[in-house]
Amino acid sequence: MADAYVAIEGERVVEARSRAPGTARGELVFTTAYTGYEESLTDPSYEEQVLTFSYPLIGNYGVREERFESDRVHPRAAVAREMTDDVAEWLESEGVPAVDHLDTRDIVTEIRDEGAMKCGISAGPDASEEAALEQLAQCEHMSDHTDIGAQVSVDERETHNEAGDGPTVALVDCGAKGSIVSSLVERDATVHVLPYDTTPETVDELDPDVLFISNGPGDPVNFEQANELVAEKVGDVPLAGICLGQQVVANALGGDTEKMEFGHRGVNQPVRDLRSGQVVMTTQNHGYTVADPGEKLDVTQVNVNDDTPEGLENDDLDIITRQYHPEANPGPNDSLDFFDDVLALAEE
């Protein structure tokens, strides 16, 4: 007898096995990554989502804290075909519901056909279809989470590698992965991690060599303060961005963004550089994309599968952004030189 239920938009209910009890609701998405479940589950970009793993076995190499990308699990719930006790116990300790023993291939196919959907989950000894449907009824669309940045950002400035000999980076934390900070620190940069609603005045006081907008969850339009910050500082300081950061930069400079049907989430997304023709494999996790870069930004890289913009640049304004995650974790290291390019802007 089932002790977990997943209610999917359209009120279809799927029976499952409870691995960590509780109720949850969120946007149902999937990742094609076959490793890196610790990194994915601690990625702040999954805030307010229910993460489905398409790979059939999750947890086959345990759970190690040094692989975490933040200090907590961010998806509202986790769904897998088979989940090991290590991962299940970790999620239970975090208070995050988890279920398995259901056909994740069917769920992934439905998301691909219908797009990312709202869902509700009820798991544990008191689970019921009614409770899952109630969670579904209360679920909001991602664009409705207008202040999601407050859920994932630092509350006050944090400084890393203060005595570094390299450039100074002001990193606006819209939900930054830890490996973005470590990638910059490894290059001897001093990194000031700032709240998502940082003001231009705060940036002026720090006088950084680069202003960097991080990845993060949700609709980039809702990060109003970050959009205003970029619009205010463009031309005064070199600008960089990753994932949501690229979208924020595009919006701030007169472009437009839009929600994708089911997004890019995985570690095998091919990206072509339009200047060299080289194709690299990348790690991605986003449900929004740049629909129109505007007149100030040039598209320099595109996704091979759907031609969405993966890189934007403006040499005159010292701007460089990437839609994918050059720091990977998990994933390929094909594009780690992005961080060298960012710091080169400061040196120039």
Question: Does the annotation place 211 within a ligand binding site?
Answer: no
Question: Kind of pairing, strands 319-322 and 309-314?
Answer: antiparallel
Which residue(s) pair with 30 in the sheet?
A: 52
Question: Does the annotation place 285 within a ligand binding site?
Answer: yes
Q: Give the position of tokens 């006088």.
A: 207
101 counts as catalytic:
no
Question: Does the annotation place 95 within a ligand binding site?
Answer: no
Interatomic CA distance for residues 262 and 286, integer angstroms:
9
Question: Does the annotation place 247 within a ligand binding site?
Answer: yes
Q: What is the three-class DSSP state of 259? A: strand
160 counts as catalytic:
no
Active-site option among 69, 243, 286, 313 = 243
Q: How distant, in Å, are the alpha carbons of 12, 235, 297, 299, 343 from that of 347?
A: 56, 16, 21, 23, 7
Apex 67 CA angle, 290 and 149, nearest 5: 40
Question: Does the annotation place 323 within a ligand binding site?
Answer: no
Question: Kind of pairing, strands 168-172 and 210-213?
Answer: parallel
Question: Does the annotation place 136 within a ligand binding site?
Answer: no
Question: Does the annotation place 311 within a ligand binding site?
Answer: no
243 counts as catalytic:
yes
The residue type at 132: A
Interatomic CA distance for residues 253 and 193, integer angstroms:
23
Active-site option among 27, 39, 310, 327 = 327
* Neighbouring C-beta atoms of residue 94, cutoff 10 Å: 15
Question: Does the annotation place 331 within a ligand binding site?
Answer: no
Question: Kind of pairing, strands 82-83 and 77-79?
Answer: unpaired
The residue type at 63: V
Q: Which residues are annotated as a binding site for L-glutamine?
A: 45, 216, 218, 244, 247, 285, 287-288
Binding site per annotation, positions: 45, 216, 218, 244, 247, 285, 287-288
Catalytic residue list: 243, 325, 327
